Amino acid sequence: MEPEITSSFVERQPVLLAVVRAASFPQGIGAAWETLEGGLASLKGRKMYGVTIPEAGSLVYYAGTEVADEAEAEGLGRSTLRLDGGRYVRVKLENWPDHTDQIGPIFDHLISNFEMRPGGATLEYYYRDNELHLLVPLADV
């Protein structure tokens, strides 16, 4: 029996990220994070995101950190990706480092139970060291 998944609705503002694209999905995710984090002076105070986008029939993953503008991303030697604002459905995953095996099934649950915005990106927002927010953009009603 599947554990109960508790979700909520949130309104998010657009966000600009400096990103590293994973060479493959899901195998290249770890290397993308290592590259991104290795180029930062410190992770302290940084808002970190994992972004999965459907592209040409497959999934593309980006590891990213929020930046104020294009110049900051350029200073980090990274390209940018703009996340859409709007309404999202969210699940909070506590102690996520011990539960990475639940990330995919939670996204599958959200996508099958809510109408996802066409072409939208699913988000992993690393809210705290031990709290991960899994977000799916909702279609406009």
Q: What is the pTM of this model?
A: 0.93
pLDDT tens track for 35-85: 999 999 999 999 999 999 999 889 999 999 999 999 999 999 999 999 999
Torsional sign, CA 117, 128, 47, 26: negative
113-122: pLDDT as tens digits? 999 999 899 9
Q: Does residue 8 contact residue 89 with C-beta atoms inside 8 Å? A: yes
Which pLDDT tens digit goes with each residue over 98-107?
999 999 999 9
Q: What is the DSSP string of 67-132?
A: -SSHHHHHHTT-EEEEEP-EEEEEEEEETGGG-GGGHHHHHHHHHHHS-BPTTPPEEEEEEETTEE
What is the token pair recorded at 51?
């972004």
- DSSP conformational letter for 60: E
7-137: CATH topology is Multidrug-efflux Transporter 1 Regulator Bmrr; Chain A (3.20.80)
